[in-house]
């Protein structure tokens, strides 16, 4: 009963993660995006803690705290500060063809379920059903990076992908070994500094963060 | 012990260089650090050569014939690049392309990058390999945009985003690999060690591993620069400072390919089929053909040689995919000679573009008359890279071609087509650059002689007479990769 309930809560949280991923796909406002990203991190963190508690995998508590501090507090804060400094917090991105993007997103979710079917069959963990959601989150992050043209949005898409990967590790194997989790977190932290620097460079050079303006390096003909 | 020194020297040098900043002797410290790394690499290689594969640091590191030869190569090329970079970057500094802060950053990040690559090669943990690979990307992203021109920033952004996405997919592959390994080896760090994984590869779940390989292939393949996920590579190579182009081309691509080959051996060992190899052959062949034809259209000299790197990485990937003793031997040799030749070419190209204030090939002329070392260096470098005897690339390409004719004869024409087109494309472009009179806008330059001559001499020696120890070394590595 206990495990069953936990599995249900976990599935609910997985659904919320997926929902935020879809939300980000079509969110036009910068603040809205960052908030959605923070929510996604929060659901992830709670889910990790629950899995850690039920499965008795105590190293997951550390992962959960890591997610909470990095993806719910630190990264959204950094992004907040950055877009305020760059004075782009009021920018509204135009997104073309929302219905089409949504449809592709749904197709990606189905595809993820199909792709992870062999893993689900082999797994005995209570979290096995959420692996497909994790892969879908990765794919939706990727889709977001492709469809959106704003540098900040692309970075949020990238971080959402990272969320999906972390979720995948929790669902498939109750988390990667701690040394790997910590290393990945460190890499994300370094990446955060780098994209922060990048935003300023791009903004200064191109006077906007629209990456469509960067089209100098086309193949010569 | 040499292993510890090998890894700590570049890390320590990075910190020291960050403090030294733009003092006059910073490039010398950079060379010194790289030379110490190289010495440690040699002594580690001697140890492995005498005593065979070894584990160190509580199974955290693993050294065998395959990765130690790449570690020596990495430390060697980083040393010669540091020597080249001394004169090259000094000139860039004089020309006002970079300021003191960026020079500080450049030196520190160069060493950090070397550290990341060595960690990639020597770690026994698949997860740490991933982390180090990401670190290698992150440490070079801001080096690509060092000049802060619009195109440099664009190139760096592309590099950051594409490699970020690629490497994220590789992490998913690693998660799947861990999932399969955990069933056999139990949870915890032990399940991600190459040494443990290779022992139980037959028991790992084949369906999961095949799925994992697709993600690993796309992920690490992005870093190898394989078509169709190669878009970042020509931009990053052409816009970054030339020493960085040299180490990206000569070293980083090799390291990514190393990761891919390790995964391939594991996956094919588990499935008992040749699927992973087939996928690699497909990617490799596509890269050869697409890159060869792209060579024809290039106007920027560094961009052209970047495409040539894609082609050669395609050749090595193809050969590893093909498998078998001859092809694997050829691929290992190819990684070595390509790395030496291509970095040497980038050294001369860097000087050539400094002499003419441009990277546009139409404006580069009369190199042999203007500066014989740069001119002949480029000429011989290109002769070597297109696979003319007696250089080492000829040997490796010949071996790979022979193996292809034996194991996959129907693919030989495609391979030959790629070689021929690349040959024509490069020669057509290089000949006008090196011959002819000196144009009025060319300026004289003190070039870095030693790195170019050292690299070309090595490639020549390997081509004419393969030293016995190298031969035995490669044979041991071939055995490992069976």
Is the pLDDT at A87 greater than 90? The verdict is no
A35 or A173: which leads in pLDDT? A35
Is the pLDDT at A220 greater than 60? The verdict is no
Give pLDDT, residue A121: 83
This prediction has a pTM of: 0.94
Structural domain boundaries in chain A:
2-213
Would the CB atoms of A217 and B158 count as touching at under 8 Å? yes
d(CA A30, CA A94): 12
DSSP letter string over chain A?
-HHHHHHHHHHHHHHHHHHHHHHHHH--BHHHHHHHHHHHHHHHHHHHHHHHHHHT-THHHHHHHHHIIIIIIIHHHHHHHHHHHTT-TT-B---S-HHHHHHHHHHHHHHHHHHTHHHHHH--STTGGGHHHHHHHHHHHHHHHHH--BHHHHHHHHHHHHHHHHHHHHHHHSS--HHHHHHHHHHHHHHHHHHHHHHHHHHHHHSS-BGGG--S-PPP-
Give pLDDT, residue A219: 60
Q: To the nearest 10°, report the CA torsion of B121, B168, B159, B68.
A: 10
Give pLDDT, residue B37: 94
Q: Which residues of A touch B141 (CB under 8 A)?
A: 194
Give pLDDT, residue B39: 94
Length of chain B: 482
Is the pLDDT at B181 greater than 60? The verdict is yes
B53 or B116: which leads in pLDDT? B116
Q: In this prediction, what percent of chain A has a pLDDT beyond 90?
A: 43
State the average pLDDT over residues B225-233.
Answer: 90
Closest to B33 measured CA to CA, from B112, B141, B147, B136: B112
State the average pLDDT over residues B260-282.
Answer: 91
Q: Which residues of A touch B183 (CB under 8 A)?
A: 122
Give pLDDT, residue B480: 85
> What is the rounded average pLDDT for all residues in chain B?
91
- Interface predicted TM-score of the whole assembly (ipTM), two decimals: 0.93
Task: Name beta bridge partners: A92.
Answer: A29
Would the CB atoms of A180 and B142 count as touching at under 8 Å? no
Mutate to test the interface with A, among B172, B210, B227, B236 (most CBs of A within 10 A): B172
State the average pLDDT over residues B430-457.
Answer: 89
Give pLDDT, residue A221: 41
Q: Which residues of A touch B208 (CB under 8 A)?
A: 118-119, 122
d(CA B176, CA B213): 9
Contacts of A2 (CB under 8 A, 6+ apart): A54
Task: Name beta bridge partners: B54.
Answer: B63
For B141, which residue in chain A has the nearest alpha carbon? A194
Mutate to test the interface with B, among A160, A177, A206, A211 (most CBs of B within 10 A): A177
| Residue of B158, B211, B239 lying closest to A118 (CB–CB) | B211
Mutate to test the interface with A, among B147, B152, B175, B294 (most CBs of A within 10 A): B175
State the average pLDDT over residues A137-152.
Answer: 90
Give residue B406's Cα distance to chain centre: 28
Q: What is the pLDDT of residues B421-433, one digit of tens each?
A: 999 999 998 999 9
Q: In this prediction, what percent of chain B has a pLDDT beyond 70?
A: 100
In this structure, what token pair is assigned to residue B456?
A: 């070309």
In this structure, what token pair is assigned to residue B471?
A: 């031969």
Q: What is the pLDDT of residues B355-414, one digit of tens each?
A: 988 898 888 988 888 888 899 999 999 999 998 888 999 999 999 999 999 999 999 999
Q: What is the pLDDT of residues B79-106, one digit of tens each?
A: 999 999 999 998 888 888 888 888 999 9
In this structure, what token pair is assigned to residue B113?
A: 């990058």
Closest to B212 measured CA to CA, from A172, A167, A51, A64: A172
CA distance A155 to chain B (A): 8
């Amino acid at each position: 009963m206990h495990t069953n309930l936990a599995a249900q809560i976990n599935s609910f949280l997985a659904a919320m993660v997926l929902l935020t991923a879809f939300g980000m796909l079509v969110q036009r406002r910068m603040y809205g995006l960052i908030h959605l990203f923070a929510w996604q991190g929060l659901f992830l963190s709670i889910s990790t803690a629950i899995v850690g508690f039920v499965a008795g995998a105590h190293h997951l508590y550390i992962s959960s705290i890591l997610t909470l501090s990095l993806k719910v507090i630190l990264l959204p804060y950094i992004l907040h500060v950055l877009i305020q400094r760059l004075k782009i917090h009021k920018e509204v991105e135009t997104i073309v063809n929302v219905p089409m993007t949504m449809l592709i997103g749904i197709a990606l979710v189905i595809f993820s379920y199909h792709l992870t079917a062999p893993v689900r069959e082999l797994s005995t963990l209570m979290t096995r059903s959420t692996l497909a959601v994790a892969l879908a989150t990765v794919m939706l992050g990727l889709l977001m990076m492709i469809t959106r043209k704003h540098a900040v949005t692309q970075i949020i898409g990238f971080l959402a992908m990272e969320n999906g990967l972390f979720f995948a590790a929790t669902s498939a194997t109750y988390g990667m070994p701690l040394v790997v989790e910590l290393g990945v977190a460190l890499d994300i932290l370094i990446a955060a500094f780098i994209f922060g620097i990048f935003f300023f460079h791009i903004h200064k050079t191109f006077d906007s963060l629209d990456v469509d303006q960067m089209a100098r390096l086309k193949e010569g003909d | 012990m040499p292993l510890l020194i090998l890894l700590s020297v570049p890390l320590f040098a990075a910190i020291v260089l960050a403090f030294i900043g733009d003092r006059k002797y910073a490039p010398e410290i950079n060379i010194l650090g790289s030379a110490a790394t190289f010495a440690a690499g040699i002594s580690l290689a001697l140890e492995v050569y005498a005593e065979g594969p070894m584990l160190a640091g509580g199974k955290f590191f693993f050294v065998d014939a395959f990765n130690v030869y790449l570690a020596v190569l990495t430390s060697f090329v980083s040393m010669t690049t540091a020597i080249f970079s001394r004169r090259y970057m000094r000139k860039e500094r004089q020309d006002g392309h970079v300021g003191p802060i960026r020079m500080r950053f450049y030196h520190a990040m160069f060493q950090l990058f070397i550290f990341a690559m060595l960690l990639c090669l020597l770690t026994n943990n698949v997860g740490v390999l991933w982390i180090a690979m990401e670190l290698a990307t992150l440490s070079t992203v801001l080096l690509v945009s060092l000049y802060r021109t619009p195109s440099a920033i664009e190139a760096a952004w592309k590099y950051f985003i594409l490699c970020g996405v690629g490497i994220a997919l590789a992490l998913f592959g690693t998660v799947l690999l861990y999932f399969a390994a955990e069933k056999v080896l139990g949870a915890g760090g032990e399940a991600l060690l190459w040494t443990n994984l290779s022992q139980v590869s037959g028991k790992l779940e084949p369906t999961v591993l095949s799925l994992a390989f697709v993600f690993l292939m796309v992920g690490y393949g992005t870093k190898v620069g394989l078509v169709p996920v190669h878009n970042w590579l020509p931009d990053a190579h052409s816009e970054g400072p030339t020493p960085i182009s040299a180490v990206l081309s000569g070293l980083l691509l090799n390291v990514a390919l190393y990761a891919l080959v390790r995964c391939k051996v594991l996956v094919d060992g588990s499935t008992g089929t040749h699927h992973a190899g087939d996928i690699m052959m497909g990617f490799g062949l596509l890269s050869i053909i697409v890159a060869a034809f792209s060579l024809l259209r290039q106007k920027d000299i560094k961009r052209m040689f970047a495409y040539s790197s894609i082609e050669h990485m395609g050749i090595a990937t193809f050969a590893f995919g093909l498998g078998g003793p001859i092809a694997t031997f050829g691929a290992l040799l190819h990684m070595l000679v390509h790395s030496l030749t291509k970095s040497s070419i980038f050294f001369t190209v860097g000087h050539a573009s400094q002499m003419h204030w441009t990277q546009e090939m139409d404006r580069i002329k009369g190199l042999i008359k203007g500066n014989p070392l740069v001119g002949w260096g480029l000429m011989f470098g290109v002769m070597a890279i297109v696979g003319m005897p007696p250089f080492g690339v000829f040997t490796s390409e010949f071996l790979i071609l022979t193996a292809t004719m034996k194991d996959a004869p129907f693919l030989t024409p495609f391979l030959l087509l790629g070689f021929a087109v690349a040959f024509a494309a490069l020669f057509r472009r290089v000949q006008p650059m090196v011959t002819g009179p000196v144009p009025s806008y060319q300026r004289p330059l003190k070039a870095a002689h030693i790195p170019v001559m050292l690299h070309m001499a090595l490639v020549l020696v390997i081509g004419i007479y393969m030293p016995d120890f190298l031969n035995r070394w490669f044979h041991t590595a071939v055995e490992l990769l069976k």
